[in-house]
Structure 1
Amino acid sequence: MNKKLAMLGALFILGQSALAGNIGIGYGVTTPLYHNDKNDYVLPIVDLEYDKFFIKGGSTYGLSLGYKLIEEDNYVLSLYGMPFGGYEVKNSDMKSGYKGIDDRDTHVMGGAELVYYPGIYSLETSVSAEYGEEGGHFTFRINRPYQISSKLTIIPSINYVYYDSNFVDYYFGVDSREVGRPGGEKINSTFSGEGAHRFGAGILGNYKVNDAISIMGFTGVAKVSGEIANSPIVDNDVIYILGTGVMYTF
C-alpha cells in the first residue's frame, strides 16, 4: 500500500490548533489494515495560513487546501478541498495471495468542518464531512491540551468516523473479477461494502526545544467495524500507531 498514512485518520485526529503555524516531518509504524507488509511511513507535516486561507497536511487524510468561512471566538467554520482524498492501495504492495486485486486510487474530495470551543476545560471539538467521486465520511473529534510545563504539552484525543457504503465498497469491496485471479489465490469470495464506522483514541506529546524547534511523539489505537474488518483484503480490525517527529514553528 503506497499511501504513506493510509489509516492515520483511523487512529486519532489531533486538534487543528495543535500543529498551527508549523512545518515538519514525522516517522511512524502502524499495524497494517490490509493484507500488506508495509507498516512504516514518513509523514510530512504542514500547517500554513494566510489571511483566512490555509494549507494543512499530516493530521487527517492528507493535504487539504481551504478557507475559513466564519471565524469567531468560540467556533470556526471552514470549507476545503483534498486533492488526494481516500487511500491509495496498490496490488503490488499486497502480500502473496492477495495481489490479484485492482488498484484503489485516491480521489478529489471536498469538505466542510466546524470546530467548536465550548469553554469547558479547554476542550476542542469538531464535526467534519468529506465527499468525493467514490463516496465519503463523517468525523466527530474531541481533544483537550494539557500544559505540563512551559515546554511540554500533552494532547489526548478521541474520534468517531462514519464511512458511507460507496466509500467502503470502493476501498474494501471485492468484485467477482478479483476472486481467484492469478496472484489472488487467497481471495475466495466477493464482498460488497456497507456503511461502516471506527472508533479511535490517541495522544500526542509536544516538547519545545526552543522557540522555533519542537519534538513530538504520538501513539494511538482504533477499531474498525465488521463492515470493513470482514473484507477478504483486510487483515486487522484493531490498528495501532507509534511515531515521532520534528517541527519548525514560524
Structure 2
Amino acid sequence: MSENKKAVVLLSGGLDSTTALYLAKDKGYDLYALSFDYGQSHGRELKAARDVAQEVGVEEHVVVETNMSAWGGSSLTDEEMEIPEGDDSNDEIPSTYVPARNMIFLSYAASYAEAVGAQHVFIGVSEVDYSGYVDCRQEFIDAMENAINQGTVCAVEEDKEIEVHTPFINMTKAEEVELGMKLGVDYSLTWTCYRGGEVACGDCDSCVLRLKAFKEAGYEDPVEYE
C-alpha cells in the first residue's frame, strides 16, 4: 500500500458496501464514507449507512443528493414499476438495475477523493453474484479508473493516481460473508432489501441473494424478515 492512507468508501448500508468499509478499516485506511440519496423508493438503506458509519467510526460521512428518479428507468426509482420477486436462476438483467448508477457513484467518489486527498476508492461490486448488473464488471471498473486518472488534477499534474479497489470482484456473497465475520462486521446494522419497511421482505432479488449467502456460509442472518 502506498503512503497515502485515506480511502473513500462507497457506502450504501448494504452487505457489500459495509463489508468493504470494515475491510478498508482493517487495512489501516482513514475512512471517508460516501452515500447517496438518489431518489430510491425508500430511505431504509440510507439509515443503515448512517448507523454503519457511526459504528465503524469514519473520519467523515457525506450523503449526496442526486435525483435519479427524475428519469426513472428502474423499479428502484420509478414508482410505476413493481419490484420483482427474486429468482437466483434468472439470467436476464432485472428491472432493479439503475441505469449507469455505479458510473455516477464512482464519478462522485473520484471528486470527493481528490478534494480530501485520498488516492483510494473502495466499491463492493462482484462479478460472481451481481444480478446481471453490467456496471459490476471488472472491465467497467478498469475503464472508470482510467477515466478518473485522465480527468483529475491529482493524477495528471501531481502523479497521485486514484486506485479503485474491488476486493469482492471474484468472490461469491457467501465468501464475502465469511470474510465479514472474520472482520467482525455487524450485519444486524445493514439493510439489503429493495423494499422499505420495518423488516426485510425476504423475497426480492436482493433478499434472496443475501439469504442464500448466509446459508452457504453457515451463518444465520441477524436481520429480521417477514
TM-score by length of 1: 0.31
More helix, by proportion: 2
More strand, by proportion: 1
TM-score by length of 2: 0.34
